[in-house]
Structure 1
Amino acid sequence: MQTVAVVGAGLIGRAWAITFARAGCRVRLWDPDPVAAPRAIDFVRSVAEDLHANDLLSGRSVEAVLTAIEPVAELADALAGAVWVQECGPEKIEVKRETFAILDRLSEMETVLASSSSALLPSAISEGLPGRARVVVAHPINPPYLVPTVELVPAPWTDPAVMERGAAFLRGVGQVPLVMEREIDGFIMNRLQGALLDEAFRLVEGGYASATDVDRGIADGLALRWSFIGPFETIDLNAPGGIADYVARYGPMYAGLAKTMQTQPDWTAITADRIETERRAAVPAQDLAERQTWRDRRLMALRAHKRAADRDLGR
């Protein structure tokens, strides 16, 4: 049973705690707010039954997962003996730098120090630290207990052996690490999502489609394939001769489309003008929390289905 420290008990930290605990880790949960970690345990309890019902606790009971997560009052106690530290603090570079300076000073030399940052580069977080070679970003797609992909991002000075250990650790706790070769703003997921969102806003801004139809086009179209194969495999299977054949057939068409995608749409203006109205008609503001719960239960069902399909049909 490996010990993991989760530093920060908010939305991301409590989700990571579930992920590590169901994998059999001993999780020490610390937050500078003394009431945050106990509240996180209440959240874990609130979702664990649904996870158990969908066989998403790796065969463990709800009580076993809850018992594995220990709120601690002192950061040093959370770090003692930890093989992995998952930092989940505010997305502010000054806070990250201060936190990692403390983590570097208090943790054992072999401990991997990972940030959940979704945008801050690991080089910006770890520059100047004595132990900067063991610092990485491990950015989850939230919540990691339902969406297994984790972007593992090195700084220029991160030890390659730390990346190897990090990838092995993440696979060992049931996640799917995307092992980046070097850092870039937005990593992989936000760059892909940003490109798709830009075009979604552009289509609505230009009056070509409603926000609802754009959403349905993804949910009932592209995402059905993307839920088990990615964009490169999709096009590899969409032409008789594979990906090279697809590029030869459709590359010129996409080159023409790219010329119409050079300017970024005004997200704020089109949201205020149209998309906010559409979304609130579909889900009133007071119902957002309920819809989020619905989303997570659908994700649980999808994750359970994918696990069964991987077992029965192969990946």
Structure 2
Amino acid sequence: MTGAGVRTSALRPDWLPAGYRCRSVTPADVDAIHHLVAAYERALHGREMTGADRLAAELSRPGLRPHSDTLLVLDGAGGPAGYGWVRGRRARVHVHPGHQGRGLGSGLLLWTETRARRAGGDRLAQTVSDTDRAATALLRTSGYSRLVTEWLLEIALPQEPDVPGPPAGITVRPFRHGDEQAAYQLTEDAFDEWQPRRKNYAEWALRTVERPTFLPAASPVAFAGDQMVGAVLSLDAPGRDEGYVERVAVRRDHRDRGLARTLLREAFRTFHRRGRQACTLWTHSGTGALSLYERLGMTVRHSSTVYCRALATD
């Protein structure tokens, strides 16, 4: 053991190039990992897209054991060169653009597969931007196949958008304290139709209402009587010129009535009033919601693909 709670690899991985070392991740590493991920995103997309609060939420997920499920690769000066985590059937890998082409990506991929297999996993999925051709080629040659496509959509907000009234019998107001459990139930019920597993409340809250960037004012919720039937949950990172919608959900028996359109435009209007120039959100092919967002005037900024492969047992 080195430091407070930091576990260094007992054996140096065969794939780790000379001059690098690796260890598990600690909460104190969030800023360094954010620096790494932001550098990767700027090189690939021309802008930073992932906030430090999202990375902190990833590392705080229930069930993630940082000492065994995370790996941070450091260069000779102690700077972050690569990063990976594995939890269940999902993994994430990033390599700093200044350290690409040295085998760190393929090594971290091997580490995620080995860790998942040892934990009893039978398959593993990773998301890669479609503009990252090197990572895409690595996954394809490693036996991964396409699972779903994800799109980052955006809408410019040069003027305050019109907000249509809600359907008859529906009231809309901003999210407020006390709405958490109803929003959790609503969004997880809606996402059950396509997500691989249901999140417990603690995990859901870490990724939504407990994030420092959660913005209740831009998170309208809809009610039929005292029942929440629709919600848009939004984030607003300080210093950013755009807002972000984290969750959109409408209860099944209230769909196709224009409620999602009303809620989203309400969120867009709030962001415009706060001086944001645009708003973004992610969706993927499993939800079937792309056409809805396009009808609202949103366009695809870029796309990613979730790749998956079966893991051979030892």
**TM-score, length of structure 1 as denominator length:** 0.28
More strand by share: 2
Larger relative contact order (Cα-Cα within 8 Å, sequence gap ≥ 6) = 2
